[in-house]
Chains A and B, each alone.
Chain A
Amino acid sequence: MNAQPVLRLDNVGCSKGGRPLFRGLQCTLRTGHWLHVAGANGAGKTSLLRMLCGLSPIDSGDIFWNGQSIRAQRTEYQQDLCYLGHLNGLQESLTALENLSFATALRGHAAPLAQLAETLARFGVAGRGQQLVRHLSQGQKRRVALARLALAPARLWVLDEPFVAMDDAGMRMLEALIAGHLDHGGLAVLTSHQTVNIGSAPMQTVELRS
């Protein structure tokens, strides 16, 4: 695994339903930095993030991870990537612990239940591990979804509106978590409507407009 991973967007463009959303996006993100994707509603922030993950095809241009196009190295790239989208990725009929256990397994890792429970506690959902996700509040569900970030190593975090439904304490916790991740050599790309303060980490902004 590359110790100094680099994410590079080269002339990236996107269109939806035949209409172009944005074009010519150029950006390089290095270790320890994070990228703030800004833009009005409907400007294409989620589309860009999905393109970054490899979920959506890149309409024009290319995205490079460690010098190689992400299209050419899907498995390696996905090993390094953790994505949190609008949807939590949690099955309502399973407990929080079961969901986390599966999410960890999907990334090719395993963790003992005690560690999962401890992680939930760190994310402010202590003692709710055995409850079905259906019975948690929106904010608690989001926290469980975020707990995935702490469980399996990924160099690049792609987070779509991670601060939504979080209270002040939650926001502080998440900011600290991302700061810690960046300190340890990670990268992050996120969108947020709120002002975000991730310690002293260097930030780049990409503004999407047509």
Chain B
Amino acid sequence: MTTPGSHLFKYAAPQKFYALAGRMWPWFAALSAALVAVGLWLAFFVAPIDAQQGQGYRIIFVHVPTSQMSMLIYLVMAGWAGVGLVFNTRLSGMMASALAPTGALFAFLSLVTGSLWGKPMWGAWWVWDARLTSELILLFLYLGFLALQSSIDDPRRADKACAVLALVGVVNVPVIYFSVTWWNTLHQGASVSLTRVPSMAAPMLWGMLTMVLAFWMYTVAAALARVRSIILERERHTEWVKHAVE
């Protein structure tokens, strides 16, 4: 009984996926590097100077993609976690664990680039606007995930516990975002907002999209590479791992 997609199920076995990931990740890494080059070229040489913000605004070509990726990765992570809980597959949990550090990295970068953008614009290294504050809380959620992962010795239990945490987090993210937005408008009105991205001319849009794609490719490459080492560590008692590392 073979349906068209059923041959893909063999990749749910860690051993097969290890080999597949090994072949795939260098391509994604190369693609990511190429896209970053194109994106940065678009960002620095093609996109025009903004009337109000001058050259400094160019940091948004990194800031906006990183914040979008950090949220997207959390969703994907929660998705894998859910799959792992429902179908009790080992690999799903490993994928979620592989994605988390990259997600945290992007959240952190988003905060740093947001700060770098804010300083020349508003004169402060940090502003408590709704987006940045939500991003900060998202970083806390990532750090919580990573902390829980490292505190539980049994990897299966760690995966499942982190899966519950990720799903609870994903449900909470809209609630948190809503609350923080309310809080921000109530206290500061419309005064400060880092999210006022200058109206987009076409080259800017292309640059932004290229960077988003570049980070996406990087995420896939990093996750695949990381999941390989997770697989090796988790399956170290099996025969194929012992042969693989000889």
Which A residues are closer than 8 A to B by beta carbons? 17-19, 57
Q: Is the CB of B234 within 8 A of A18?
A: yes
Within 8 A of A (CB), among B35-61: none
Chain A residue numbers with a CB within 8 Å of B238 are: 18
Mask, B222-233, CB within 8 Å of A = 1, is: 000000000000
Q: Is the CB of A18 within 8 A of B237?
A: yes
B236 at the interface (CB under 8 A from A): yes
A35 to B137, CA, bound (A): 54
Instruction: Give A18's nearest chain B residue, CB to CB.
Output: B237
**Residues of chain A lying within 8 A (CB to CB) of residue B237:** 17-19
CB under 8 Å from chain A, chain B span 195-246? 234-238
B94 shortest CB reach to chain A, Å:
13
Q: B residues within 8 A CB of A57?
A: 88
Taking CB as reference atom, which chain B residue is nearest A57?
A: B88
Interface residues on chain B, number (Cβ under 8 Å): 7
9 chain-A/chain-B pairs, Cβ below 8 angstroms: A17-B154, A17-B237, A18-B234, A18-B235, A18-B236, A18-B237, A18-B238, A19-B237, A57-B88
Whose C-beta in chain A lies nearest to the C-beta of B241? A18
Q: Footprint of A on B, CB under 8 Å?
A: 88, 154, 234-238
* Chain A binding surface, main DSSP class: loop
**Helix, strand, loop or mixed for chain B's interface?**
loop
Give bound CA distance, A129 to B234, whole Å: 49
Q: Across the two chains, which residue of chain A brings its CB closest to B234? A: A18
Across-interface contacts of A17 in B (CB, < 8 A): 154, 237
A17 to B154, CA, bound (A): 7
Q: A19 to B234, alpha carbons, bound, how many Å?
A: 11
Q: How far is the CA of A18 from the CA of B234 in the complex (A)?
A: 7
Query: 6 additional contacts, CB 8 Å, given A18-B234, A18-B235, A18-B237?
Result: A17-B154, A17-B237, A18-B236, A18-B238, A19-B237, A57-B88
- Chain B residues, Cβ within 8 Å of A19: 237
A59 to B13, alpha carbons, bound, how many Å? 15
| Smallest CB separation, B186 vs chain A (Å) | 46
Write the chain B residue with the least CB distance to A16. Answer: B154
Which 7 residue pairs across A and B have the least CB separation, nearest first?
A18-B237, A19-B237, A18-B234, A18-B235, A17-B154, A57-B88, A18-B236
Residue of B nearest to A19 (CB): B237
Chain A residue at minimal CB-CB distance from B235: A18
Nearest residue (CB) in B for A15 is B237
Q: How far is the CA of A57 from the CA of B157 in the complex (A)?
A: 11
Complex: A6 Cα to B223 Cα, angstroms: 48
User: In whole Å, how far is B239's beta carbon from the nearest beta carbon of chain A?
Assistant: 12
Contact partners of B236 in chain A: CB under 8 A: 18
A17 vs B152: C-alpha distance when bound (angstroms): 13
A42–B140 Cα distance when bound, in Å, is 40
In the complex, what distance in Å separates the CA atom of A57 from the CA atom of B154? 14
For the complex, give the distance between the alpha carbons of A112 and B237 in Å: 54
- What's the Cα separation between A151 and B141 when bound, in Å? 46
Residue of B nearest to A20 (CB): B237
- Identify which of B235, B236, B237, B238 gathers the most chain A CB atoms within 10 Å of its CB: B237
In the complex, which residues of chain A have a beta carbon less than 8 angstroms from the beta carbon of B235?
18
Nearest chain B residue, comparing its CB with the CB of A17: B154
Q: Which chain A residue has the least Cβ–Cβ distance from B88? A: A57
Q: How far in angstroms is the closest Cβ of chain B from A190?
A: 27
Residues of B within 8 A of A18 (CB): 234-238
- Nearest chain B CB to A72's CB is how many angstroms away? 15
Whole-angstrom CA separation of A62 from B237 in the bound complex:
24
CA distance A17 to B156 in the complex (A): 8
Q: How far is the CB of A103 from chain B (nearest CB, A)?
A: 27
- Inter-chain contacts of B154 with A (CB < 8 A): 17
Least CB distance from A16 to B in Å reads 9
Q: How far is the CA of A57 from the CA of B237 in the complex (A)?
A: 21
A20 to chain B, nearest CB (A): 9
- Complex Cα distance, B238 from A5, in Å, reads 39
CA distance A112 to B169 in the complex (A): 45
A147 to chain B, nearest CB (A): 32
Q: Which of A17, A19, A57 has the most CB of B within 10 A?
A: A17
B227 to chain A, nearest CB (A): 17
A152 to B88, CA, bound (A): 34
Q: How far is the CA of A57 from the CA of B88 in the complex (A)?
A: 10
Shortest Cβ distance from B1 into chain A, in angstroms? 21
